[in-house]
A = this chain, B = another copy of it.
Amino acid sequence: MTSPLPPVPAHIQASFDRQSMMQTIGATLIAAGDGACVIRAPILAGMRQQHGAGHAGLAFTLGDTAAGYAALSLYPPDREVMTAEIKINLLSPAIGEMLEARGEVVRAGRRLSVVRAEVWALQGDKRKTIALMQGTMIPVDPA
């Protein structure tokens, strides 16, 4: 999960920019292409659970979005993808300076793509896995 990723295609960046949720959580699209995608976001003060760690919903949002754009990167630019379903195992509290999610396509198909995502908490030069996800993305016609 450490190979370099190509620059973000314009249609993926544009889609990302239209998601107000990504702005609300302060997310940045780091890389997308070749069936993978990396997104980072800080753990904003308004995104916490009752003990001050990042909310599970934040980790989910990042991982789901990274997995979605990983899948989208393998379809023609005029398609969109939707999450059909996804499962998350939460391994550690989201504590750190930043969260990073990496989505990857395991199997790309005409009708659906199977994806995985890993979410880390970053602190200095250390990273700790906080969530693992596995799910299904489906290509759809643009609305």
A residues neighboring B (CB under 8 Å): 15-16, 18-21, 23-24, 45-51, 55-58, 60-61, 64-65, 80, 82-92, 106-107, 111-112, 114, 116, 129, 132, 134-136, 138, 143
Q: Which of B84, B91, B138 lies in contact with A106, CB distance below 8 A?
A: B91
A21 B134 Cβ-Cβ under 8 A: no
Task: Specify which chain B residues have a CB less than 8 angstroms from the CB of A116 in the assembled complex.
Answer: 132
When A83-B90, A91-B107 are in contact, do A57 and B136 touch as well, CB less than 8 Å? Answer: no
A19 B50 Cβ-Cβ under 8 A: yes
Task: Specify which chain B residues have a CB less than 8 angstroms from the CB of A56 in the assembled complex.
Answer: 60-61, 64, 83
Taken together, the copies of this chain in the complex come to 4
24 cross-chain CB contacts under 8 A: A19-B49, A19-B50, A20-B45, A20-B46, A21-B48, A21-B57, A24-B47, A50-B80, A51-B143, A57-B64, A57-B65, A83-B90, A84-B90, A84-B112, A85-B85, A85-B88, A85-B89, A85-B90, A89-B134, A89-B136, A111-B138, A112-B112, A116-B132, A134-B134
Known: A61-B61, A86-B87, A132-B134. 20 other contacts (CB 8 A): A16-B50, A20-B48, A24-B24, A24-B47, A55-B61, A56-B61, A57-B58, A57-B61, A60-B61, A60-B64, A84-B89, A84-B136, A85-B87, A85-B90, A85-B135, A86-B88, A89-B106, A91-B106, A91-B107, A91-B114
